[in-house]
Amino acid sequence: MPKTKEAEAGPAAPGDAGDLILPVDQQAASLKSKDLLGIEYLDADEIQLILDTAHHFKEISQRPIKKVPTLRGKSVINLFFEPSTRTRTSFEIAAKRLSADTQTISASTSSMVKGETLIDTARNIEAMYPDLLIIRHAFPGAAHMLARTCSAAVINAGDGAHEHPTQALLDALTIRDHKGSIEGLRVVICGDIAHSRVARSNIHCLRKLGATVVVAAPPTLMPCDVEALGVEAFDRLEPALEGADVVMTLRIQLERGGKLSFPSTREYFNLFGLSRDKLALAKDDVIVMHPGPMNRGVEIASDVADGPASVILEQVSNGLAVRMAVLYLLAGVGAAKKNVETAA
């Protein structure tokens, strides 16, 4: 990736407005809600604001010293009650690059193993005055419950099969980087639609930004009311792929019941795995995405995952920028200004 002017110049002095690297009109911007609970609750302008802010934050990770003082003095607590590599690490690095103090609590090291409820855990954490709580939990609605109980800003890092908003935002940023705009694109999401929070958040996000969203899955992995979300549904992959600009493949969510939905992984791969032959039905400049973790030879062939159309690792890099943007918009200058105005 070519270095920007700012990257060549190196880091600005702490406290310098240049540290924010945001256009002046974006420096005091914020989201309407104190929390980020799902894409369903954002409007298109808020999504664009997050993407534009993330675009500017990307540059920080290209610098030799990858840290700005933007959230100095703010505390961020990661509550991860489900396994995660990318999302947890990405939130931790994002908070650290903005100079926030971070603490991660996982299921096995929390008092929930001793029988404490999530609300009691949250109330005890809130008594230590954190500014931001990031939660991943197996129960849909867990982040909403926390947001109602706590005055800190809450970010949903995945709640069961419900929503995973920062994943959809990083996917949108990656698509925008490659295609210029999301409006009018044909985006195919294939795999375990029924159990996927990534699918749900992406459907909301891409439709709000003007894409046509097509979903493809075996009937056992397709929600019965999926068309109500405004998508076109296929029970075969090939017709869905015709003319696609973007193909997003999803992992089978074994932990949410996905494994009972087809006879064998070999049959699944033959019918729904993204192979080079199937991908040839899409447009020549198609891009291939996967939220990870990826099961090679199940939902995607290795030569597609590592092939020229794949943008899977760019998704991970963009995840960092998106999470920095979300942390900034919920706890930075704009959020503080909004809170003062609300109190007045």
Binding site for ligand MLT (CB under 6 A): 158, 164, 167, 197-198, 251, 291
Nearer to ligand MLT, 147 or 198 (CB): 198
Q: How far is the CB of 199 from ligand MLT (least distance, A)?
A: 9
Q: How far is the CB of 342 from ligand MLT (least distance, A)?
A: 32
User: For ligand MLT, which is the closer residue by CB, 58 or 197?
Assistant: 197
Terminal Cα distance for the chain, rounded: 45
Residue/partner pairs of 11-17 with CB below 8 Å, 24 or more apart: 11/63, 11/64, 11/65, 11/67, 11/68, 12/68, 14/68, 14/69, 14/72, 15/69
Minimum distance from CB of 269 to ligand MLT (Å)?
16
Of 167 and 212, CB closest to ligand MLT: 167
Pairing of strands 186-190, 212-216: parallel
Closest CA to 94 of 166, 142, 14, 28: 166
Looking at beta carbons, which residue is closest to ligand MLT?
A: 251
Return the number of the residue (198 or 217) whose C-beta is nearest ligand MLT: 198
23, 81, 195 from 313: Cα distances, Å: 27, 25, 23
Q: Is the dihedral of CA 272, 278, 282, 284 positive or negative?
A: positive
CB of 193 to ligand MLT, least distance (A): 12
CB of 158 to ligand MLT, least distance (A): 4
Closest CB to ligand MLT among residues 35, 192: 192
Separation in Å, CA 185 to CA 128, 172, 285, 286:
46, 12, 12, 10
